[in-house]
Amino acid sequence: MPELGPFRQPKDERFDHIENYGKIKLRSQREVSTDEQSAINEELKSGILTRGEISAKYRIKLSVIYQMASDAKKGQVKLKKRQMKQKAKMATRDAMEEAVVEHLEAKRNIYTIAQVQKMMMDQKGVIVPRSVVASTLRSRFNMRFRKIREIAFQGNRERNLALRCMYAQRFLQVLQDGYRLINIDETWLNQLEFNRAKWCQKGETNSLPTKSMTPRISMIAAVSSNGELYCALTQVNTDSDVVMQFMGRLANQLAREDAGYRQKTVILMDNAAYHKSKETRAYFDKLGIKLMLSGPYSYSGAPCELFFAYFKQGYLN
């Protein structure tokens, strides 16, 4: 049996320019250290050397180099997907933070995580996981879910009674002076069925199917002491910008009806934060319209509340 000569790599013309390539004993991937793998990945990333030259430089099989290049490419794709996912998550958090800030500035409470999820779905069309809502409320707003402590109703405190008395006197004085009062307020329409009772036979199931309106509709109404009614519907939470936009359109409508309406018209609103904000007050000054704020808990002195109670009767559709 003839004696075998020394092992040589098969002839490959792609590596003719690499000196003694066929005589080099090449290593497998198991024989490559972690530091060498990092160095090879950097070489592949730089693109200065070809894969064959990297194989000869580090004495590693070419198939291993190709595999490492493939793994690096897959890793970049995974990294890019992870970065995109993280970016989308941050955008969702920022949108939710903005919505929660508006909600809190309007002096509204947050009772459940589901409430925030529905708010995000209605306003942004985004589904937010419960864990993201909870972590955002904790980390960005320093909020915790705690049991509500019941306290006595504050509407009949001495201070509130005095303010309501002063408001009633001012209310009557404005009407006596011949001014037209226009009360502006908002309400949510989150369903179509407002029947709360009906006649039924004994033993009959007294129930009606209900369906919530998604997204919710906000109604802004303006009821005047002369009997006029002006309405607008929106699908956003009411804030100072919404109030100013509604007031601008109402002012244009009033001007079309009577160019001198400003002389004998007073706008009446409650003490919601966006009604008495600096922006809203400045806008009323710009329009040249008088603004009066009601006393605390003055529901019976707000014509809009009576209109909303009348409107939310029966089936709206």
Summarised one tens digit per residue, pLDDT across range 207-226 is: 777 666 667 788 999 999 99
The answer to which of 4-18, 20-34, 97-111, 186-200 has the lowest mean pLDDT is 4-18
Same structural domain for residues 228 and 261? yes
Same-domain check for residues 181 and 129: no
CA quadruple 199, 200, 205, 210: dihedral sign = negative
Query: Which range among 91-95, 174-178, 277-281 shows the weakest confidence by mean pLDDT?
Result: 91-95
Confidence of residue 154 (pLDDT cuts 50, 70, 90): low
305 and 236 in a common domain: yes
Put simply, whether the predicted model's pTM sits higher than 0.75 gets the answer no
- Average pLDDT on 163-174 reads 90
Domain with 61, as residue range(s), is 13-70
Q: Can you give the pLDDT at residue 10?
A: 47
**In whole angstroms, what is the distance from residue 249 CA to residue 211 CA?**
32
As a whole number of angstroms, the distance between CA 76 and CA 58 comes to: 23
Backbone torsion region of residue 219, taken as left when φ is above 0, otherwise alpha when ψ lies between -120 and 50, otherwise beta: beta
Domain match, 224 and 304 both:
yes
- For residue 105, being part of any structural domain is answered with yes
Please tell me whether residues 122 and 225 are part of one structural domain: no
Q: What is the gyration radius of the CA atoms in the chain, in angstroms?
A: 36
The yes-or-no verdict on residue 163 having pLDDT over 50 is yes
Answer whether residue 78 is part of any domain: no
pLDDT surpassing 80 at residue 14:
no
At 88 the pLDDT is 81
Question: 180 versus 62: which is more confidently predicted?
Answer: 180
What long-range pairs does 237-240 form, CB within 8 A, spacing at least 24? 237/99, 237/102, 237/103, 237/106, 237/123, 238/106, 238/186, 238/274, 239/102, 239/105, 239/106, 239/274, 240/274, 240/277, 240/279, 240/280
* 95 & 235 share domain: no
Q: Helix, strand, or coil here: 191?
A: strand
Which CATH number do you get for residue 216? 3.30.420.10
Q: Which residue has the higher pLDDT, 297 or 153?
A: 297
Categorize the per-residue pLDDT at 65 as very low, low, confident or very high, splitting at 50, 70 and 90. confident
Residues 186 and 243 in one domain: yes
In this model, does residue 94 exceed pLDDT 60?
yes
